[in-house]
Amino acid sequence: MEGVSATARWTAAARAVETRRPDALFTDDLAEALAGPEGFARFERYDNPGTTEFLAIRTRWLDEVIGRSARTQVVLVAAGLDTRSVRLDWASATVLYELDQAGLMEWKEKRLAELDAVHRCDRRGIGTDLTGPWEETLRSAGWDPSVPTLWIAEGLLFYLPEPDARTLLERLAASSAPGSVLAGDLIAHQSMISEFTQEGLARLRADGCPWLWGTDRPEEFLNSCGWTPGDLRLPGEDGASFGRWPWPPLPRDTLGFPMNHLFTATV
């Protein structure tokens, strides 16, 4: 696995590190095996102040979004190596679709089988190109566009060129029945230009998985893609801290400091 897919190992290592904590925000018992040595090497390489904390907060926040949702169709857009099918409680009728690059999904399926993973929902892994005709592939796996869907886009959008990210969200909106929800994260443009991120961004570029864009106006961006913004949180704000964020939340119009946006939106 190269480029962006390899960052899945990094975030798996971050989940493994979180799982070891006595005050863990979640437990992912398979994360260490999925991360492997490469994942932990990347974890060390990319570990900047706030990074590990944010990855834990993001995972927990999205876990809670899933837990509150009554949708029986959930799609992980760029599922990576997270094992929500194993570690979360699911309603018996839920069908969970996992989309990601074919090579990553093939490896994940094989490794989960080797680890005797027990899925707690009807899970369907799908290898596909998110810039290609993924809707047809998703329908072939059983997804029903007439039923409201919960879409989870975690750690994805800023790795895509902005036009591709916009197109993806527009296609998700166009494919969604009324009542569907999108949840995920966006980085601020300040994260791209802050002096505090340049070393980390350079490492990501050198490893072939650069962050490509960010927005300081996430509500406007979501609106322009056909989504009505709902909940929007910065790490450290109420509901997006979990006692883990080490600093007070910054005002949203602060310049020169990296920021991450956690969001939900509806159609």
CA distance linking residue 141 with residue 126, whole number of Å: 8
Task: Tell me the C-alpha to C-alpha distance, in Å, between residue 96 and each of 72, 74, 80, 132, 146.
Answer: 8, 5, 14, 21, 16
Give the dihedral of Cα atoms 140, 135, 99, 43; nearest 10 deg: 170
Q: Using an 8 Å Cβ cutoff, are 260 and 199 in contact?
A: no
Please give the structure tokens belonging to residue 194.
């802050």
Residue 256, pLDDT > 90, answer yes
Bridge partners, 97 (sequence order): 75, 124
**5: pLDDT strictly greater than 90:** no
CB 182 within 8 A of CB 151: yes
CA 161, 187, 45, 57 dihedral sign is negative
Q: Tell me which residue of 102, 56, 51 sits closest to 82, measured CA to CA.
A: 56
d(CA 142, CA 188): 35
Specify burial of residue 111 (Cβ count, 10 A radius: 0-12, 13-18, 19+). middle
Q: What percent of the chain has pLDDT over 90?
A: 93
Length of the chain: 267
Q: What are the pLDDT digits (tens) for 52-72?
A: 999 999 999 999 999 999 899
- Residue 4 pLDDT level (bands cut at 50, 70, 90): low
Bridge partner residues of 124 (DSSP) = 97
Rounded Cα distance between 101 and 127, Å, is 5
Averaged confidence pLDDT in the chain: 95
- Per-residue pLDDT band at 249 (split at 50, 70, 90): confident
Residue 1 is predicted with a pLDDT of 39
Whether the per-residue pLDDT at 3 is higher than 70: the answer is no
**pLDDT mean over 104-116:** 96
DSSP state at residue 70: -
Closest listed residue to residue 171, CA positions, set 187, 182, 184: 182
Assess contact for 87 and 26: CB atoms under 8 A.
yes
Domains and CATH numbers, the chain: 50-266 (3.40.50.150)
